[in-house]
A and B are shown apart, each in its own frame.
Chain A
Amino acid sequence: MERLLNFVYAYRAFFTFLLLEIFCTWLIIQNNQYQSTKYFNSSNRLIAKMNQTSQNIREYFSLADINKTLAEENSSLRTKLDQREQALQFLQLNQVKDSTLFIRFDFVSAKVVNNTTKYYKNFITINRGADAGLEPGMAAISSGCAVGKVKSVSNHFAVLISLLNLDEQVSCIIKRSGHFGTIQWDGTNPSVVDLKYIPRHAQPVVGDSIVTSGYNAVFPSGIFIGKINAFKLNNEAPFYEIKVELGLDFSKLAFVDVIKSRLKNERDSIERVTIGEPK
């Protein structure tokens, strides 16, 4: 026993090294698990406050740009609203039949406090948290385009997994043909993502719109992601290799809307009863 202790003591540096590295590896693996409420990330209050100050300074220089985007979004929404009203009046459909279904989505506007686009795993911190009703698993959009989903929340802040994250996958469809696949970033170009699992018999065209499918209950269906930029079909490959140009410039993200789905619990519970616990 004494010799064993002496041995450990003689190589204490090495053993400490091993111990620390194993601990770090455990942290990395823990952190990669999808959706969690963790304390040690940038939704931590002190860290988020520091980031907010730094973002406020940076934002000052791009105020004109941000203003322009917001104004454009406002006017396009107003046009759409007006057209919708006209159509509804024309069809005499302005009475709501099922009010629960009608108000099933609720939007919470939040400001981006911290955002990266250049790492392999990018995250976005926003200034709304549990006090605004945010929960892990909610979707975030900006100017009508998909941004990511909530990973963890603190009282006043939340961290989103950006679409530009190797671990993030979003179920989507080609709007024109209705084929569905999965969007995943390849880790290199922050304006292009990969569209996977589109079968051979589909016939994509450059310029096709890709929108969310609504199959995974995170994003509502029909949220714009991007347009097909290029595609390739290798011999004997079962699926197309498709590159999608994102509709949103992630490096200029200033505001996001987090979507609260009022019917998510109902949908989850019926799926759980029928299919079983999600893996």
Chain B
Amino acid sequence: MTRTGILQFISFFIYVVAQALLLKNVVLFNIGFCFVYVAFILLLPIETSALILMGLGFTIGFVIDIFYNSLGLHALTMVFIAYLRNYWLGAITPQGGYDLGAVPNLKSNGLQWFLVYTMPLVFVHHLTLFLIESAGFMLFWYSMLKTITSLLFTMTIIVVLQYLVPQQSRT
């Protein structure tokens, strides 16, 4: 296993522990949730194949589900995000393309690009999560409100972490 592989392996556990023991209890005004573990899939190297992404997405979602007593819910949304990720990365390729072995983080492409990359994916993740959890569209607008407040909360944490934790721009 390469050095980055080991780092990713450790970060997997850090994301799970932080999410399940800490962030699960942090809810703003009853409607703002923080699902920072989404960043685990978003920050994997650009060339990671869709199969590996979906496998990892399923694994982390499944583990989070065990803590949340919502078997299948987080796994489903994470697989969805993992599938969309590479298509979205392809759609927003900056001029000149990505460097070989680059990581899609703030350091490699700047804040503006990073927001364009993460915001829609996190939004889709939260929206599907809340809609599936409420089992339908009966609570649609309330779910939308939850989605937007949670989006702001999660994005703040993800961006702050980008500045706080030293990032490598390539593997």
Contacts and interface: CB of A to CB of B under 8 A. Distances in A.
B58 A41 contact: no
B71 A27 contact: yes
Interface string B119-134: 0000000000010111
Contacts, number: 98
Contacts of A16: 50-51, 54
Nearest to A53: B21
B67 interface: yes
Interface in A158-199: 159, 166, 187-190
A180 B90 CA distance: 59
A44 interface: yes
A187 B27 CA distance: 15
B79 A21 contact: yes
Nearest to A161: B69
A41 B71 contact: yes
Given A31-B70, A42-B66, A166-B135, A20 B54 contact: yes
> Secondary structure at chain B's binding surface: helix, strand, loop or mixed?
helix
A42 B68 CA distance: 7
Contact of B67 (A12, A21, A42, A120): A42
Interface residues of A, number: 39
A118 B54 contact: no
B21 A41 contact: no
B36 interface: no
A13 B51 contact: yes
B129 to A, nearest CB: 10
Given A187-B134, A187-B139, A47 B67 contact: yes
Contacts of B155: none
Interface of B: 20-21, 24-25, 27, 30-31, 33, 49-51, 54, 58, 61-62, 65-73, 75-76, 79-80, 83, 130, 132-135, 139, 142
The 6 closest A-B pairs by CB, nearest first: A27-B72, A24-B76, A28-B72, A13-B50, A31-B71, A123-B69
Given A20-B79, A118-B27, A187-B142, 10 more contacts: A16-B54, A21-B80, A24-B79, A28-B73, A31-B70, A44-B66, A47-B66, A58-B25, A116-B24, A119-B133
